[in-house]
Amino acid sequence: IDEAQDTAPEQWAIVRALTGEFYSGQTSGRTVFAVGDEKQSIYSFQGARPERLRQERADFLALAEGAGEPFAGPELNTSYRSTEEVLAFVDAVFADPDRTRALTGPQGDIARHIPARIGQHGAIDLWPLFLDEPAPETDAWDDPVDQESAGSARKRLARDLAREIRRQVESGLAVFDSRTRDLRPAGYGDYIVLVRRRDATFEEIIRALKTEGVPVAGADRLKLSSHIVFDDLIALARFALFPDDDLSLAEVLRSPLCDVDEDGLYALAGRENRKGGQLWRDLRDRAHERPEWTRARDMLQTVIAARGGDPFAFFSQALNRVDDTGRSGRARILARLGREAEEAIDETLNQVLAAENRGAIDLETCLAQLEAADVEVKRELEGARGEVRVMTVHGAKGLEAPIVILPDTTMKAKAQGPSLMPAVTPEGEGEAWLMAPGSAKDDCPASADARAARQARTDDETLRLLYVALTRARDRVIVMGRASSRGAEPGSWWSVIEETFDRLGDQVREVENGVRRFGVDPERRPVATAQDRTTEPLPAWAATPPPPDAAARFAAPSRME
């Protein structure tokens, strides 16, 4: 049983059913091996609680002793991941008895971490808060009221975070390489940015990293219908079915598939007295005026010709077709949008195949099913691919990185959920369910206690999330945050970390730009300069479609001869 601290009561019941006969008194030779860390119990929404692991351990101990079977419960307190300074800071954060109780439950205790990486140093950096500025007054009645200015705290935080990562990589900040057992210059794949939720700050960080030219793996969850690649392929199918759809054609022209810039689109579509449905005719008539228009016309004529075939063949042909520049549609998309787009392409093709299996064997029916689909894909970001990873703390469970950045630290988590809440029975012997009022103002004493208990459980899990976030770091942690002029909320990660910095006293020093540091200054290593590479031109055959295979046989249910 792995990650036993996150096992729900129903899952433990299944484990009991599977293992009950192990302790029947007859030697079976079968065993139970469970590993978990109650301090990392962060899945309370599925019923897991840190004290449950200790309870199950005691129950299995009683079963083993009663059956005369051996039982071993070794404590694993040595950390092979993090540096001495990171572990010492974690110990300092959770030295307070209330925080200890939050990690392990009422009866638990925390042993100090024992670092295995003796002599390999790191640090925790606490940046000054990015404070929100007063919103400027709008000049006109139709100005947007919810648009953030370029100088908002959120945008400044995201921009400075991206620039700091780039500065560290370009300056050769050193991290410890676990394979070579030596220091090396950090790369972009050595950074993980951890947030508590996928909100506007999450999106702004990804946007800022892309703007600053920092390779980024994108979001850890991909909502297909919100991805621009999906929109472009849907627009391509709409145009193929309805060539007079000017809006879909304009979207395809601006997409990487055609790569017509904004000026080129206005030059093509901006003439006076242009009627609706005229854009495709204008492109065909004027394609000779610009090379990109010629390429766009040729590609669009190809997809119109392919619209009568099966949907998968339609999209595959659009993505695999090689133009006169020697690039395929897929290559054009990846060149503009990066490797993140590869998963969006592949998942779109998977959905096309799934639609065909449901009977959508024509393009129009398949398009309707794709537009109605609501698909979310969990992306696998375990291995560093030379890109900064941005993900939630829950998504980072089990992962690690030399440098972890925590930018989402200043808000206190609010308890959420239905009005039906667990409550302690009057006899105090167990829990029951209580239907509480919708508003705390209408609470009776029992529902007020249940609501306060739910908030306390949320506060405890917030601290366990902080523990997980801090212990993802191998070498260094950077803590950032944004807040109003009132500062960070009490009980937030920021307030906990700032209090720890204050308590550490002389062990903390200020470095530059108001950054406070606990630990050792990083070393630098020379950054390898990329050698000039000469790209050999592709041979002519690489841009030429292969001839049809005369020997190929295509089977279909209606033609099985």
Where does the pLDDT of residue 258 fall: very low under 50, low under 70, confident under 90, or very high at 90 and above?
A: very high
Task: Say whether 68 sits in a helix, a strand or coil.
Answer: coil
In this prediction, residue 217 carries a pLDDT of 82
Q: Is the pLDDT of residue 412 over 60?
A: yes
Question: To the nearest whole number, what is the mean pLDDT of the chain?
Answer: 86
Cβ neighbors of 63 (< 8 A, separation 6 or more) are: 22, 23, 69
Could you report the per-residue pLDDT of 65-84, keeping only the tens digit for each?
888 888 888 888 888 999 99
Cβ neighbors of 22 (< 8 A, separation 6 or more) are: 28, 30, 31, 32, 63, 67, 69
Where does the pLDDT of residue 38 fall: very low under 50, low under 70, confident under 90, or very high at 90 and above?
A: confident
Partners of 507 in the beta sheet?
A: none
Least confident of 104-118, 371-385, 460-474: 371-385
In this prediction, residue 524 carries a pLDDT of 92
Mean pLDDT for the stretch of residues 18-37: 84
CATH classification (class only), 224-378: mainly alpha
DSSP structural state of residue 152? S
| Per-range mean pLDDT, top range of 307-311, 341-345, 557-561 | 307-311
Cβ neighbors of 472 (< 8 A, separation 6 or more) are: 192, 194, 396, 399, 400, 401, 404
In this prediction, residue 20 carries a pLDDT of 83
Q: What letter represents residue 96's amino acid?
A: D
Cβ neighbors of 249 (< 8 A, separation 6 or more) are: 235, 239, 243, 279, 280, 283, 300
Q: What are the phi and psi torsion angles at 459 (to 5°)?
A: -60, -40
* Domains of the chain by residue range: 4-67, 81-220+383-519, 224-378
Where does the pLDDT of residue 102 fall: very low under 50, low under 70, confident under 90, or very high at 90 and above?
A: confident
Which has the higher per-residue pLDDT, 439 or 403?
A: 403
DSSP structural state of residue 310? -
In this prediction, residue 541 carries a pLDDT of 76
Cβ neighbors of 70 (< 8 A, separation 6 or more) are: 64
Where does the pLDDT of residue 138 fall: very low under 50, low under 70, confident under 90, or very high at 90 and above?
A: low
In this prediction, residue 421 carries a pLDDT of 81
CATH 3.40.50.300 fits 81-220+383-519, yes or no: yes
Residue 257 CA to residue 364 CA, distance in Å, equals: 21
Could you report the per-residue pLDDT of 169-221, keeping only the tens digit for each?
999 999 999 888 899 999 999 999 999 988 889 989 998 998 898 988 877 77
In this prediction, residue 144 carries a pLDDT of 60
In this prediction, residue 291 carries a pLDDT of 92
Q: Is 377 left (phi over 0), alpha (psi -120 to 50) or beta?
A: beta
Residue 423 CA to residue 434 CA, distance in Å, equals: 6
Where does the pLDDT of residue 559 fall: very low under 50, low under 70, confident under 90, or very high at 90 and above?
A: very low
Residue 200 CA to residue 215 CA, distance in Å, equals: 20
Alpha helices in 484-553 (DSSP H): 493-504
In this prediction, residue 139 carries a pLDDT of 63
In this prediction, residue 419 carries a pLDDT of 83
In this prediction, residue 111 carries a pLDDT of 79
Cβ neighbors of 264 (< 8 A, separation 6 or more) are: 253, 290, 292, 293
